[in-house]
C-alpha cells in the first residue's frame, strides 16, 4: 500500500506536470486562456505521468539487454536542470528521423567541454539548450551506436521522458539505474503507477 507521504509527493509532481504542460500549450497558442484551467484539471484527474514504449536495438546493453523489452517512461514537461540530470536514461526524438524516438544516456549538458579521442578534432563547449547523449553498449562503434558521436549535440527540448523501469519477462524486471536525483524524483511515481502485469500484457501485444 502506498504511504501518505509518497502519495503527497506523487500528487505534487502530477500538479506540477499538469500546470507546466497546460501553460506550454497556452504559450504555443494550442489552447486559450479560458481553457488553461480545464486542461490543468483534466491532466490531474485523467492523465498519467508515465507511458510505455519498447526497446528496438542493442545500443543500451546492459541497462536494457534485448530488443523488444517493455519500458516504462516518466513524462517530462520540459527537459531542464530541474527535471533531467546527467546519467539519466532518456527518450528523445531522433535528430535525423523526426518520427522516430531513441533511448540514450544523457552524458553532458550546456557548458560542458567536449573533447574527442581523435587529436584532429578540436574541443568544443556545448551551447545553451544542447546536450550530448551516448549509447551504453561500449562494444559498438560510434556509427553502430548511433549517438552524439555520430550526429553531434542535440537540443534538450528533444527529450520527452526518462526511462524508469524495464520489463524483460514476467519474472525478470526492475527499475532502471538513473542519476540519484532522477531516481529520487521517480520513486513515488513508480510506487503509484507501476503495473507489471499491464506491462507484460502490452509487451505481448507489441511483440
**How far is residue 112's CA from residue 115's CA, in Å, rounded to a whole number?**
10
Catalytic site residue 201? no
The C-alpha angle 101, 48, 205, rounded to 5 degrees, equals: 60
Q: What are the pLDDT digits (tens) for 40-74?
A: 999 888 889 999 999 988 999 989 977 779 999 99
Contacts for 108 with CB less than 8 Å, ≥ 6 apart: 86, 114, 126, 131, 132
Which pLDDT does position 122 carry in this prediction?
87
How many CB atoms within 10 Å of residue 43?
A: 20
Q: What is the pTM of this model?
A: 0.92
* Residue among 9, 58, 59, 162 flagged as catalytic: 59
**How far is residue 41's CA from residue 24's CA, in Å, rounded to a whole number?**
15
> 157: cis peptide before it, omega within 30°?
no
Catalytic site residue 96? no
**How far is residue 120's CA from residue 41's CA, in Å, rounded to a whole number?**
55
pLDDT at 156 over 60: yes
pLDDT at 207 over 60: no
* Residue among 9, 58, 69, 104 flagged as catalytic: 104
The C-alpha angle 60, 64, 67, rounded to 5 degrees, equals: 90
Amino acid at each position: 500500500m502506498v504511504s501518505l507521504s509518497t502519495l503527497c509527493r506523487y500528487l505534487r509532481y502530477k500538479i506540477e506536470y499538469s500546470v507546466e504542460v497546460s501553460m506550454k500549450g497556452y504559450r504555443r497558442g494550442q489552447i486559450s486562456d479560458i481553457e488553461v484551467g480545464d486542461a490543468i484539471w483534466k491532466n490531474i484527474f485523467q492523465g498519467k505521468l508515465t507511458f510505455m514504449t519498447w526497446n528496438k536495438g542493442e545500443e543500451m546493453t546492459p541497462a536494457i539487454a534485448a530488443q523488444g523489452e517493455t519500458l516504462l517512461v516518466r513524462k517530462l514537461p520540459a527537459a531542464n536542470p530541474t527535471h533531467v540530470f546527467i546519467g539519466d536514461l532518456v527518450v528523445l526524438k531522433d535528430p535525423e528521423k523526426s518520427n522516430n524516438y531513441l533511448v540514450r544516456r544523457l552524458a553532458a549538458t550546456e557548458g560542458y567541454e567536449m573533447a574527442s579521442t581523435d587529436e584532429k578534432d578540436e574541443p568544443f563547449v556545448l551551447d545553451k539548450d544542447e546536450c550530448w547523449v551516448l549509447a551504453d553498449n561500449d562494444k559498438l562503434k560510434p556509427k553502430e551506436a548511433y549517438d552524439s558521436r555520430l550526429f553531434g549535440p542535440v537540443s534538450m527540448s528533444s527529450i520527452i521522458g526518462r526511462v524508469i523501469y524495464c520489463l524483460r519477462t514476467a519474472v525478470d524486471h526492475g527499475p532502471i539505474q538513473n542519476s540519484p536525483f532522477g531516481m529520487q524524483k521517480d520513486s513515488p511515481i513508480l510506487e503509484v503507477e507501476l503495473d507489471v502485469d499491464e506491462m507484460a500484457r502490452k509487451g505481448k501485444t507489441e511483440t
